[in-house]
Structure 1
Amino acid sequence: MFKHPKESQVTITELMLPSHSNFSGKIHGGHILNLMDQIAFACASKHSQNYCVTASVNRVDFLNPIEVGELVTLKASVNYTGRTSMVIGLRVESENIQTGKTKHCNSSYFTMVAKDENGKNAKVPGIMLDSEQAIRRFARSITRQEQAKHRTNKFKSSEFKIENYLEIIKLHNAQIDI
């Protein structure tokens, strides 16, 4: 069975309140991450028709600050489907209500895993790719997975060789004192 991404897309908009702000008066990144996790869950659960859990989050860069009083819109869509997992693409934008100006605040990719009623991984429907953009997103997810598989073990404590990094570290803002 295959489903079109439009069938499970989710968009939410929320007003940013003072209670969501950090000490500098900007919206706390943790609040935005919480909203992102919720919408990724909703999108993945809608696609799979199962309860889903977050397996990983691929890079979150906060590109622009969000102000108290702005509307934040989060958009989620299934970009990739595996056997039991899905990659959910997320986009976060803020809007100044008075000016109508919008800002792209961040994008991220959440890998979600479907679970059955016994907590076991559940098979998910495949995804229909009907545009060049959909194929690009799917292919990007495959590439990201391949890169993750080839991550090195050279930093495991049993494999790490300090002499390979002493000169590199000296070029950075650190002092070695061992």
Structure 2
Amino acid sequence: MSAQENHAMVRTVASTQSEMTEIILPNDTNLLGNLLGGRLMHFIDLTGAVAAFRHSRTYVVTAAMDHIDFIQPVRLGDLVTLKASVNRAFTSSMEVGVRVEAENTRTGAVTHVASAYIVYVAVDEHGRVQKVPQLKPETPNEIRRYEDALRRREHRERESARRVEAKLAVAARAEAQEKPQQSGSSIH
């Protein structure tokens, strides 16, 4: 299927859903018996990538982990379940939302422990950017998430522009500081 044909397709949020469950073992935890944040981020990235793949049907690369909230610790022995789906598809990128819940294996209590937003970009086997299908939100919750994803994207773009401006200002100051030293350092 060509990139143009892929982009012309429309997929539902439900068709992108991904779920993963892991039991938290000693190698996954810190000295306090809590799941390592980096390990949880790895689980989040994998689950999100599957959702993005299901939508794009091509390779995906992680472009940004836009936002992650660690709400509660996950303990040794807990079952951690991650649920992901595409919130919105743009031209070649997709925002995926991931919800993480922990289940206490002794009591059965389930707690929301983390949430994250990740941006993936679709690429071919040579790493070239590919267009992705459109996404059709159907439920009120999917529509809300679809609209929220656009606001987050606009915020990311503003923040990116702000960072570029800050880097340029730092470079300009550094260059301005070098010039007086260069002109005043001549030997007579």
Asked if TM exceeds 0.5, the reply is: yes
Say whether 1:127 aligns with 2:135: yes
CA distance in 2, matches of 1:39, 1:101: 22
Counterpart among 23, 26, 45 of residue 53 in structure 2: 45
Say whether 1:116 aligns with 2:124: yes
Question: What is the 5 A alignment of 1:136-155?
Answer: 136-151=144-159, 152-153=162-163, 155=166
Of 99-108 and 149-158, deviating more is: 149-158
Counterpart among 96, 99, 120 of residue 88 in structure 1: 96
Q: Which residue of 2 aligns with 1:98?
A: 106
CA distance in 2, matches of 1:145, 1:113: 13
**Per-residue displacement from partner, 1:49-97 (whole Å, max 9, x unpaired)?**
1010000011212110000000000000010000111001000000001
Cα separation, partners in 2 of 1:65 and 1:159, compared to 1, 3 Å: farther
Say whether 1:28 aligns with 2:30: no
Offset of residue 118 of structure 1: 2.1
Alignment partner of 1:43: what SS?
helix
The structure that has the greater radius of gyration is: 2
- Determine what percentage of the aligned residue pairs are the same residue: 36
Cα separation, partners in 2 of 1:50 and 1:102, compared to 1, 3 Å: same
The two structures have a TM-score, normalised by structure 2, of 0.81
CA distance in 2, matches of 1:79, 1:57: 14
CA distance in 2, matches of 1:59, 1:79: 14
Gaps of 5+ in 2: 1-8, 174-188
Counterpart among 6, 15, 19 of residue 11 in structure 1: 19
Q: Which residue of 1 aligns with 2:76?
A: 68
Gaps of 5+ in 1: 161-178
CA distance in 1, matches of 2:18, 2:153: 24
**Per-residue displacement from partner, 1:93-133 (whole Å, max 9, x unpaired)?**
00001111111111111100011122101111111111221
Aligned length: 160
Report the aligned-residue RMSD. 1.4
1:105 counterpart letter in structure 2: V
Offset of residue 159 of structure 1: 6.9
